[in-house]
Amino acid sequence: DAKTTQPNSMESNEEEPVHLPCNHSTISGTDYIHWYRQLPSQGPEYVIHGLTSNVNNRMASLAIAEDRKSSTLILHRATLRDAAVYYCILRDKYNFNKFYFGSGTKLNVKP
């Protein structure tokens, strides 16, 4: 199963951009890159996903390296409500039922 590697924790100031990195050097050509976040005492919630091209939505942007071995989740203006654990996972197009969450990155946002 394709694995991802993320820093254990990161810190940001409120109203500043945050770049959360994820390494996935063993990614296959059919893996989609997904990001989820988990607020304290809640279930994970979807943030964004992509395959090859950079993606934007109302929550965040996803920048995918040209070789697809890494990606970066970008929160353009961090708020206190963005403090959460962010998970980067891979879902294979043909075997997407078995996918695993790693330990994620705990983001702390300072006022």
Partner 1 sequence: NAGVTQTPKFRILKIGQSMTLQCTQDMNHNYMYWYRQDPGMGLKLIYYSVGAGITDKGEVPNGYNVSRSTTEDFPLRLELAAPSQTSVYFCASSYDRANEKLFFGSGTQLSVL
Binding site for partner 1 (CB under 8 A): 30-32, 34, 36, 42-46, 49, 51, 87, 91-94, 96-104
DSSP one-letter code for 94: S
C-alpha–C-alpha distance, residues 88 and 9, integer Å: 13
Q: Which is nearer to partner 1, 17 or 102 (CB)?
A: 102
Report the nearest approach of partner 1 to the CB of residue 88 (Å). Answer: 11
Q: Which amino acid is at 107?
A: L
Q: Which is nearer to partner 1, 13 or 108 (CB)?
A: 108
Report the nearest approach of partner 1 to the CB of residue 92 (Å). Answer: 6
Q: Return the bridge partners of 22, or none.
A: 71
Do residues 63 and 54 make contact, with C-beta atoms less than 8 angstroms apart? yes
Q: Which is nearer to partner 1, 42 or 66 (CB)?
A: 42
Report the nearest approach of partner 1 to the CB of residue 22 (Å). Answer: 13
Report the nearest approach of partner 1 to the CB of residue 101 (Å). Answer: 4
Do residues 50 and 74 make contact, with C-beta atoms less than 8 angstroms apart? no
| Tokens 């929160």 sit on residue | 75
